Amino acid sequence: MTLDFSIILEAWPAFLSGMGLTLKLLVLSLIGAIALGTGLAAMRLSPNWFVSTFASSYVNLFRTVPLIMAIFWFYFLIPLLIGRPVGALTSALVALIFFEGAFFSEIIRSGIQAVPRGQFAAGLATGLRPRMVMQSIVLPQAFRAMIPGLLTQSIIVFQATSLVYVVGLSDFMTTTVRIANGSGRIVEVYLFCAATYFVLSYGASVVARYLERRLNR
Amino acid sequence: MNYSWNWGILFEAPYAEWLLSGVAWTIGLFAASMVVGFGVGTGIGLMRIAPIRWLRIISGIYVEMFRNVPLLVQIFIWFYVMPELLPSDVGQWLKRDLPMPAFWTSVVAIGFYTAARVAEHIRAGFLAIPAAQMQAALATGLNLRQVYRYVLLPRAFRIVTPALTSEAISVMKNTSLALTIGVLELMAQSRQIESYTFQSFEAFTAGTAIYIALCAAVVFVARHIEARYAIPGMIQSR
């Protein structure tokens, strides 16, 4: 068979808008998931048994459920809870945030635990409240150590956004499938799709490794 | 919230059978993907640390390729693209004569994807073994093959058991992607019950609970294996 990649150029605007949605999903879900993950990590380290058990149950729940299941859950649950349809984008975004928040919380927790205990005690000794110590002393140090881990998880989220295909959102993956089926140039279109994901993920992983080496020096 | 509950639906025909057959397919996907993933992964992992340069390069390329493309894309490539790229009689065989094509494609895709991740764990496990162990083993008169077989591999596998346990849980979750090419596994069956009965809550709860139970079973077995093969005198994770 002969390969003819002209279909990629023909469908370029569709690919671009698909990648636009993928990146939008990535950025919004990262912001939400890191915020949620930070909250969950702080809760897990809380001396209050109820709070820490809630957070660890949350994390364990989402770690043993497939992301597709979470996407379908929120797709049906959110409209039911708030009483009106919200669209696939919102529900997929909420699913990604709730799901990935559990994974980010584990990275953030280990980062917080890497900060020497004395830092917390010293912060308290200066008269700051526990919340302020967490915010201004522990978290800034913890985040520096976490950067490579956060970046690696972000690459996983980038790849995971492709699963919004199951609710038909026009992200890069769904766009690829549509163009492949519409044009019949299945081989070229899927290879282009895989190459695009590869270049972006691999590029980001090289940056992550570089940061890791620099932070370890 | 306006919703009429009907938990009984899960125990009625044909929905109970659908769930059960979904569980069976999920377990089948899991078992077969684990064999491929851990088998190929161990091989690639050993190549990653081999004292031969080109083996390290090839295995490195393998790991980066399979790690940096989403699993869903890989499944579609195995399912739609592979039969076109292979010689036409092999392609024809894949399309027409292979029994359960969607199932085996999912197994290959999930297995090869998992292998890249397993290989990295195995490599990390090997790097965690002090270099003196190898020298000491060679000094006792074992040859290189025996050193790997009797000293390094057994230690590396024990070091990476916790990491491989979470990898096994990922495999369990990843089997749900087989729904995209039409394998009627647990996720697909939950979805199907939902669309037939509109009892979304019950259908998804059943699916979710079963996934949690399956993952718990994986952790249970892994703990058992870890305890069974623990080296006396080493610090154990509890």
* DSSP string for residues in A117-155: HHHHHHHHHTT--HHHHIIIIIHHHHHHHHHHHHHHHHH
Q: Locate the chain A residue with the closest alpha carbon to B199.
A: A76
SS (H, E, C) B14-51: CHHHHHHHHHHHHHHHHHHHHHHHHHHHHHHHHHHCCC
Query: What is the extent of the structural domain holding B78?
Result: 14-228
Residue with tokens 């004292």: B51
**Alpha-carbon gap, residue A54 to A89, rounded angstroms:** 28
Q: Locate the chain B residue with the closest alpha carbon to A201.
A: B68
B214 in a structural domain: yes
B237 in a structural domain: no
- The residue with greater pLDDT, B33 or A212, is B33
B68 Cβ under 8 Å from any chain A Cβ = yes
A77 in a structural domain: yes
pLDDT at B95 over 50: yes
Give the model confidence (pLDDT) of B111-170 as tens digits. Answer: 999 999 999 999 999 888 988 998 999 999 999 889 988 998 888 888 899 899 999 999
A1 in a structural domain: no
CATH number of the domain bearing residue A184? 1.10.3720.10
Give the gap in angstroms from C-alpha A83 to the nearest C-alpha of chain B. Answer: 7
Give the model confidence (pLDDT) of B186-230 as tens digits. Answer: 999 999 999 998 888 889 999 999 999 999 999 999 999 988 888
Q: Which residues of B touch A186 (CB under 8 A)?
A: 80-81, 84
Nearest to B176 among A69, A165, A191 (CB): A69
A173 Cβ under 8 Å from any chain B Cβ = yes
B157 in a structural domain: yes
Establish whether this prediction's ipTM goes over 0.85.
yes
pLDDT at B3 over 80: no
Query: What is the extent of the structural domain holding A61?
Result: 6-216
Q: Locate the chain A residue with the closest alpha carbon to B180.
A: A166
Q: Locate the chain A residue with the closest alpha carbon to B64.
A: A202
**Two tokens at A98?**
């709730």
B196 in a structural domain: yes
The total number of structural domains that make up chain B: 1
Nearest to B73 among A67, A173, A186 (CB): A173
B72/A65 touch (CB, cutoff 8 Å), yes or no: no
Nearest to B73 among A155, A162, A202 (CB): A162
A190/B211 touch (CB, cutoff 8 Å), yes or no: no
User: Would you state the pLDDT for residue A194?
Assistant: 97
CATH number of the domain bearing residue B108? 1.10.3720.10
Average pLDDT over residues A85-107: 94
A190/B204 touch (CB, cutoff 8 Å), yes or no: no
The total number of structural domains that make up chain A: 1
Mean confidence (pLDDT) of chain B = 91
A68 in a structural domain: yes
B169 in a structural domain: yes
B5 in a structural domain: no
Indicate the burial class of B222 (C-beta count within 10 angstroms; 0-12, 13-18, 19 or more).
Answer: middle
Work out how many CB contacts closer than 8 A connect A with B. Answer: 107
B119 in a structural domain: yes
**Alpha-carbon gap, residue A114 to A142, rounded angstroms:** 7
B91 in a structural domain: yes
